[in-house]
Chains A and B, each alone.
Chain A
Amino acid sequence: MSLATVVETKELIQTVIFALVAGIGVTAIFSVGIWGAARFVDLSQEDRRAAALAAGVAAAVALLVVMAAIVVGVIVMTSK
């Protein structure tokens, strides 16, 4: 019995890839959302409405993507 036959390599690699993509990806996108919200507040105070709107939209889209990613993640997990 070699180590290679014991380790469920495919499942383990898929676990690593999913965790890296989901963990780092969701955090990065959420950070973009916070960046957008912070810029929205600052730019609004500077009365730069178009730029503020763009930052606000970036924040909203980022948060929606985060929510969607979480829902998809849970659905994928329950599919087995």
Chain B
Amino acid sequence: MSSDVILVLVIGTALAFDFTNGFHDTANVVATSISTGAARPQVAIAAASLLNFAGAFISISVAATVASDVVDAGAITPTIVFAGLIGAIAWNLVTWYFGLPSSSSHALIGGVVGSAVAAEGFQVVIAEGLLGKVLIPAVVAPLLAFLVAGASIGLSYRIVGRQRPGIVSRGFKYGQVLSGGLLALAHGTNDAQKTMGVITLALIANGSLGAGANPPVWVIASSAAAIALGTYSGGWRIIKTTGTRIIKMDAAQGFTSQGAGAAVILASTHFGFPLSTTHVINGGVMGAGAAKRLSAVRWGVAGNIVFAWVLTLPAAAAIGALTYAITSIFGSGAVGPVVVTVLSLGAIGGAFARRARTGAPVPVQSG
């Protein structure tokens, strides 16, 4: 009975995380389309949320990585997964509050690793999986997007450079409908799978699924719905940072940055790399800007994003570990997770109420 209560809390928390993931990452998918005028905000967000939903059904390679290649599933309990999720959600909300496009994926993996280490020690971490499937792709993917977007925009300008700007701009805006759609599909595919992976991990830990099992259909469908709803709810604060504060983009840059992001995410998803869509699209945006003119990129804002990136894994891990320590105070039953859930809901409600009262977004430092 107690383990079932914890499992229900884990699934609820995982879906809440998935919602915040979509909410947090809306900017990555739609900011470039909105900032270049290729799509109206509400239309872009609605389309992105539908494609997020569809994308979640495409593949389960990333879910398999999260469920079995990062921590030893045999040593994991639902309470560990719960504490990791709280770490990820807390970090997502902190970065949302400050308008920083940090990685929900790294927050999730950091949170789960942190709580697992707090519970079972470092031997529970699968170092090969964490390094080979998460950390190295985490460094390679944004650099790759930077390179692809930079090379693409250079080639694009060479091909269309002498044509009339009006037609060219209109053409790339139409193209952005396509590239933005593909990016939304890629986002849903890679990001929703992380939640599927975590729920699957909890189901295995609870004995509801066998080791190495794939996510059940209801897990895939509910994860898809949660991320799509989150995306639809949007994160306007981060849209502003990604869409206008890193660089001022033209339609060609928007198209190439989205195309580069989609290509990198889809390729990585195929091989089961749970990378950060945030970092990939920001890498693409910077590549498209830097190829035109290095000074076009607001490197101060870019530096803040890199700072949040570096901080994400350890910060989410620390919160995850702290959460596990708090739940442990109440023993191994359901009381700890219930208390933490109530406290978390109170903190989240307080943060939203404060934001609603103060109104204006917190400015991101630039320089």
A interface, CB within 8 angstroms of B: 1, 3, 5-8, 11-12, 14-16, 18-20, 22-24, 26-28, 30-35, 37-39, 41-42, 66, 70, 73-74, 76-78, 80
Known pairs A20-B147, A77-B266; A70 contacts B59 (CB<8 A):
no
Q: Is the CB of A38 within 8 A of B271?
A: no
Judging by beta carbons under 8 Å apart, are A27 and B155 in contact?
A: yes
Interface hits, B258-277 → A, CB 8 Å: 259-260, 262-264, 266-273
Q: Which B residues are within 8 Å of any A CB, using their own CB?
A: 58-59, 61, 127-128, 131-133, 136-137, 140, 144-145, 147-149, 151-153, 155-156, 159-160, 163-164, 167-168, 171-172, 175, 178, 182, 185, 189, 252, 255-256, 259-260, 262-264, 266-273
A66, B156: Cα distance in complex, Å: 14
Assuming the A-B contacts A16-B140, A22-B263, are A39 and B163 also in contact, with contact meaning beta carbons closer than 8 angstroms in the complex? yes
Among A16, A24, A74: residue with most chain B CB under 10 A: A24
Instruction: Choose from A8, A32, A41, A74 the contact partner of B58 (Cβ within 8 Å).
Output: A74
A19-B260, A31-B155 known; A24+B148 contact, CB < 8 A: yes
A8 to B185, CA, bound (A): 25
Judging by beta carbons under 8 Å apart, are A19 and B168 in contact?
no
B186 to chain A: closest residue by CB:
A77
B172, chain A: closest CB distance, angstroms: 7
Instruction: Select one of A6, A27, A32, A70 contacting B152, CB under 8 A.
Output: A27
Pick from B159, B167, B189, B262: contact of A31, CB under 8 Å: B159
B127 close to A31 (CB less than 8 A) = no
B156 surroundings in chain A (CB, below 8 A): 27-28, 31
CB of B138 to closest CB in A, whole Å: 12
Q: Which A-chain residue is minimally distant from B128 (CB atoms)?
A: A6
| Whole-angstrom CA separation of A77 from B188 in the bound complex | 13
A28 touches B159 (CB 8 A): yes
With A6-B127, A38-B171, A70-B178 in contact, is A26–B132 under 8 Å at CB? Answer: no
Chain A residues whose C-beta falls within 8 Å of the C-beta of B149 in the assembled complex: 23
Which residues of A have CB within 8 Å of B168? 34, 38
Give 29 A-B contacts (CB < 8 Å), ordered by A residue: A3-B131, A12-B136, A12-B140, A12-B271, A15-B144, A15-B270, A15-B273, A18-B263, A18-B270, A22-B267, A23-B148, A23-B149, A23-B152, A23-B263, A23-B264, A27-B153, A28-B152, A31-B159, A31-B160, A34-B160, A34-B167, A34-B171, A38-B167, A39-B163, A41-B164, A41-B167, A73-B266, A77-B189, A77-B267
B179 to chain A, nearest CB (A): 9
Complex alpha-carbon distance, A41 and B178, angstroms: 23
- Expressed in whole angstroms, the minimum distance between the Cβ of B262 and any Cβ of chain A is 8
What A residues does B259 contact at CB under 8 A?
Answer: 23, 26-27, 30
